[in-house]
Structure 1
Amino acid sequence: MKTWVLYHSKGGNTKKIADVIANELEDVLKSEQIPPAYPPENVALLFLGTGEYAGKPDSKLLEFVRTLNKDRVKNVAVFGTNGKGVAGSAIATVKSLLNEKGINVVDESFCCKGKFFIFANRKSPDSNDINAAKEYAKRVYNSIKA
């Protein structure tokens, strides 16, 4: 099953989770920062990651989402990081845009705390977050593969 992991990460938190997801799955083609070197095509499952900045996803990620269409990407699972560790409006915004494009969006999303500036959440994402991201990746992958 053709699977990609794409993300946008300013501080490295979302990249860390993207790499965990990509390493957990057997046949992932890419794990790279948006925009990718070439656009995804014939992708069965796209894991799409964003940080949350003042309640919003990064504008580069939104621009990328606008380029996607259901003929190139069949299913998208959205994940991210933020200061609270719960899925916020950034993930909801990305899911909404994908739904508007007619792309199947996996109901379950993943979010964990990310390190913020120097002191806030400075050990995040931590080992519990890493393990949760691995389990999320396997669950989503297996649900699409079935």
Structure 2
Amino acid sequence: MSSLTPGAELSTWPFPRIHEVFHSLQQSGEAERHEHWSTMESTELLLNYSVFPFLSRILDKRVMVIVAEGDNITMWDREIAAFNAIASPHKRLEILPKVSHMSLYSDQRDTNVAAVKASDWFAASLGTEAQ
């Protein structure tokens, strides 16, 4: 679980901003049923997971990866390495400058930028024009 004071209380995910954002979304009613819980096991599983063994299976599939350049929670350099390991010629990488992991949840402008990029890609991939 995240914490506002990870130095003073047990926390498996010691990023105060995570607690602030998800608590705010819950209190505002936007995600009132959200419970942001992590166990030691779920955190260990997350930190030990690797997508790299599966990337060689993606050959002729359309793939889009959107990365937040200012992400200080996930390893965006590894996300780009994973993208580069995909052999498909039908792939696209979008790097969102000045966007963080949590701003995608907390700042509607950042979410909209990612949504427009995804919408344009889906429209092009499905052979339709973006609206």
| Same topology, TM > 0.5 | no
TM-score by length of 2: 0.42
TM-score by length of 1: 0.39
Give the structure with the higher percent strand.
Answer: 1
Give the structure with the higher percent helix.
Answer: 2
